[in-house]
Chain A
């Protein structure tokens, strides 16, 4: 399976910013990832698609080192991440937006937004941030979890943009949100890509994924079973729908 992944290179010639080779991960004794292999190029927007339980979220959590027990190789900008602690990985310039959004209820919206420390130069300025997410300024004093689901998702994305991280890991930002909000988040993600962020997006919503991504990595049973460019996906939706069982 991994040889298939390697042969499927993207059309762009940009170097790999993140390179995952034969990644295996475990939750306690139960093995969840079985030799994941794929590359993410600089400036690229890559989605991980697949069914529930396929291992998409675990892949992001393994990159971040939140899943501690892992084997294989994850190289980010020339640095090996396997064996590093979560905070060391984050400091190399990776921003993580978890599936559950993880807005802190004991912090105000403003405190939530400014919680992640600036790790390096090149992050969004406060002004640029509030321009993209005007609601967050208006509701700055509210308790973080008093925001609507969509606003909480915006906050979860916004807070990792000012840290200077160049690689963003976004876990299902469209989940459970109204279509109009999903559309808004799609616009924001496109804008982030245009600004040069490299993005790995876990997504179940194919329509959403298609509108923003360059390439799609199909995950099944903890391994990569296919990699398609966005054009290939558009030309052959049936192929992916078979994988997803939709």
Chain B
């Protein structure tokens, strides 16, 4: 039935799926962390991812700073932008309906994208691959940079999970997810925690953006095209579930890759079909805990 499918094609698409999955996972994890603590559906996430890539491009072209320093600096720069945004835009809205936060973040996304497009145009800007070359595994060719992206994103996701599940800081975060007022009544500065958490989530998005720059081109719309899928991932994994977001991200990346091999026509819709089925069977998400149902 599947004759004509070479191992090159199969594994090539699985790898591509894992690459996409790496971005889905890191982005949806950031969204889940932000949503869990702040109940904000962060529609600026895609623009913040794009800004990460863009800041890396600016650092290279104006300051001559390459990929490796950018991997640290760009997320910090974008995180600061996020924290300012949280403090002056989201905090005044926090006691209103969630819809206001959603609309405000969407507005910022449109503004940021528009400004970047106005200044640099819509065509993608190239960004050199910092680790050229690859290795022939026999059944497929594995470019080093792609391997780096997958490994780095897995390490980042696991580290984030460890931070949240196994540290005191993470315990504050989990507790504040449940009952922010009580956590504040223990003397913890919850508003500051929210600002830092938002900064962290946004920093993760920007980190993904830097990681993406050598693979995809740096363009104003690189985030918005990705975000539709990422929101589907968050919904399938369960809003606010951090493990759910990461695991679902990788899983759907691979599912998408495999669909490209076996039935390419469905590749662009398979994630949404998956979303419909999973919402039907598990409306709260695959990884939702009982409390959040």
Contacts of B185 in A (CB 8 A): 64, 66, 86-87, 90, 96, 98
Q: Is B181 an interface residue (CB 8 A)?
A: yes
Contacts of B183 in A (CB 8 A): 115
Q: Is A91 an interface residue (CB 8 A)?
A: yes
Q: Is B175 within 8 A of A115, CB to CB?
A: yes
Stretch of A37-45, A71-79, A104-112, A217-225 on the interface side = A104-112
From A85, A96, A107, contact of B171 by CB (8 A): A107
Q: Is B175 within 8 A of A104, CB to CB?
A: yes
Could you give, for residues 171-198 of chain B, a 1 whenever the CB lies within 8 Å of some chain A CB and a 0 otherwise? 1101101110111111111110000000
Could you give, for residues 160-183 of chain A, a 1 whenever the CB lies within 8 Å of some chain B CB and a 0 otherwise? 100100000000000000000000
Q: Is A117 an interface residue (CB 8 A)?
A: yes
Q: Is A128 an interface residue (CB 8 A)?
A: no
A interface size (C-beta, 8 A): 22
Q: Is A104 within 8 A of B187, CB to CB?
A: no
Q: Is B171 within 8 A of A115, CB to CB?
A: yes
Contacts of A102 in B (CB 8 A): 179, 182
**Which residue among A106, A111, A160 has the maximum number of chain B CB atoms within 10 Å of its CB?**
A106
Q: For chain B, which range describes its interface: under 10, 10 to 19, 20 to 34, or 35 or more residues? A: 20 to 34
Q: Is A15 an interface residue (CB 8 A)?
A: no
Taken together as a complex, chains A and B put the C-alpha atoms of A91 and B172 apart, in Å, by 16
Taken together as a complex, chains A and B put the C-alpha atoms of A156 and B178 apart, in Å, by 15
Contacts of A90 in B (CB 8 A): 184-187
Contacts of A91 in B (CB 8 A): 187
Could you give, for residues 253-293 of chain B, a 1 whenever the CB lies within 8 Å of some chain A CB and a 0 otherwise? 00000000000000000000000000000000000010100
Could you give, for residues 58-96 of chain A, a 1 whenever the CB lies within 8 Å of some chain B CB and a 0 otherwise? 000000101000000000000000000111001100001
Taken together as a complex, chains A and B put the C-alpha atoms of A87 and B189 apart, in Å, by 6
Q: Is A104 within 8 A of B188, CB to CB?
A: no
Q: Which residue of B lies closest to A165 (CB)?
A: B187
Taken together as a complex, chains A and B put the C-alpha atoms of A119 and B188 apart, in Å, by 10
Q: Is A53 an interface residue (CB 8 A)?
A: no
Q: Is B187 within 8 A of A107, CB to CB?
A: no
Taken together as a complex, chains A and B put the C-alpha atoms of A107 and B168 apart, in Å, by 11
Taken together as a complex, chains A and B put the C-alpha atoms of A6 and B56 apart, in Å, by 67
Q: Is A87 within 8 A of B172, CB to CB?
A: no
Q: Which residue of B lies closest to A116 (CB)?
A: B186
Q: Is B177 within 8 A of A86, CB to CB?
A: no
**Which residue among B178, B179, B182 has the maximum number of chain A CB atoms within 10 Å of its CB?**
B182
Q: Is B178 within 8 A of A105, CB to CB?
A: yes
User: Which of chain B's residues 141-197 have a Cβ closer than 8 Å to chain A?
Assistant: 168, 171-172, 174-175, 177-179, 181-191
| A-B pairs with beta carbons under 8 Å apart, 23 shown | A64-B185, A66-B185, A85-B184, A85-B191, A86-B181, A87-B185, A87-B190, A90-B184, A90-B187, A91-B187, A96-B182, A96-B185, A102-B179, A102-B182, A104-B178, A104-B179, A105-B289, A107-B174, A107-B175, A115-B175, A116-B186, A117-B187, A160-B186
Chain B residues packing against A (C-beta within 8 Å) = 168, 171-172, 174-175, 177-179, 181-191, 289, 291
Which 4 pairs between the two chains have the least Cβ-Cβ distance?
A90-B187, A116-B186, A106-B174, A86-B184
